[in-house]
Amino acid sequence: MTLKSKESKLINILKGFKSCAVAFSGGTDSTLLLYYLSKLNIKTKAYTFHSYLYPESELKDAENTAAMLNIEQEVIYLEPLDMIENIKYNPKERCYICKKYMFSILKKAAAKDGLETLIEGSNYDDRKDFRPGFKAVQEIGAVSPLDMAALTKEDIRNLLKQANLNYNKPSFACYFSRFPYNMEISKDMIELVSKSECYIHSLGMISARVRYHNQIARIEASENHIKEIINNKDIREKIITYLKSLGFIFVCIDLEEYKTGSMNRLI
């Protein structure tokens, strides 16, 4: 299928909805959904979950995008370690547990607000990875129009580019994904990873991730950023000094280029 035919299929799918509640993270996938719903004048409300599992910059991006597209938005704040049963042990079905909890809340919110269809932004490429959260989405009865239209991540970025919207925003999984499965996680550990990543991002390496291995921080980054860290002594020393000041004893860089879901290799 061509990009044009996939776009047409997406539009036809969305036209079948009278009103929509959108699980809106502010990422490229859910932004594309909001864009077309806005363009089609379909009654829509965006619901954005926020907690210490995401940096504040993610919430600000989501709020700015919803405002720009003139879509009503509600932010739902969570205390995940306290509110979601057993999540602190980071089980391999963590995404299923989280999604089931959050989409149960969204389903009630949508019903209260008189919105008929609950939609979310899984895309066709998500089928390639371990995605237990998608099972929860289906069980709740949410619809995934991007997946239904066979739109890949590259397709989505191309459509956003055509619409003059931000198409380069890196994907951002919650901070739980930085930890090995079946490790008990505390708020302090999450804050440690958050501070580490935010500092590295402030140096211009916005796609970098910091994976937590007890006393070891394993940095994943793009090939260009790997070269920059290795070849630039000043940047390298800044990263080492800051991460050690937070409590890490060893600071390492993964020589394999950053890939989403790398912790899934452990299962």
Confidence at residue 267, expressed as pLDDT on a 0 to 100 scale: 54
Confidence at residue 62, expressed as pLDDT on a 0 to 100 scale: 96
Q: Where are the domains of the chain?
A: 3-162, 175-266
Q: Is 3-162's fold the same as 175-266's?
A: no
Q: What are phi and psi of 72, to 5 degrees?
A: -65, 140
List residues bridging with 19 in a β-sheet: 43
3-state SS, one letter per residue, for 191-208: HHHHHHHHHHHHCCCCCC
Confidence at residue 136, expressed as pLDDT on a 0 to 100 scale: 85
Please give the CATH topology (third level) of the domain spanning 3-162.
Answer: Rossmann fold (3.40.50)
Using alpha carbons, list the distances in angstroms from residue 130 to 39, 52, 261, 263: 33, 24, 8, 10
Confidence at residue 266, expressed as pLDDT on a 0 to 100 scale: 58
Structure tokens that stand for 44 in this block: 């829509």
List residues bridging with 73 in a β-sheet: 46
- Among candidate residues 53, 101, 87, 262, the one with its CA nearest the CA of residue 182: 87
Question: Architecture of 175-266 per CATH?
Answer: 2-Layer Sandwich (3.30)
Residuewise pLDDT in 10s, the chain (267 residues): 899 999 999 999 999 999 999 999 999 999 999 999 999 999 999 999 999 999 999 999 999 999 999 999 999 999 999 999 899 999 999 999 999 999 999 999 999 999 999 999 999 988 776 677 778 888 999 999 999 999 999 999 999 999 999 999 988 899 999 999 999 999 999 999 999 999 999 999 988 999 999 999 999 999 999 999 999 999 999 999 999 999 999 999 999 877 665 666 555
Give the H/E segment covering residue 226: helix 223-231
CA–CA distance, 177 with 54 (Å, rounded to integer) = 11
Confidence at residue 167, expressed as pLDDT on a 0 to 100 scale: 93
Give the strand pairing for 216-220 and 209-213.
antiparallel
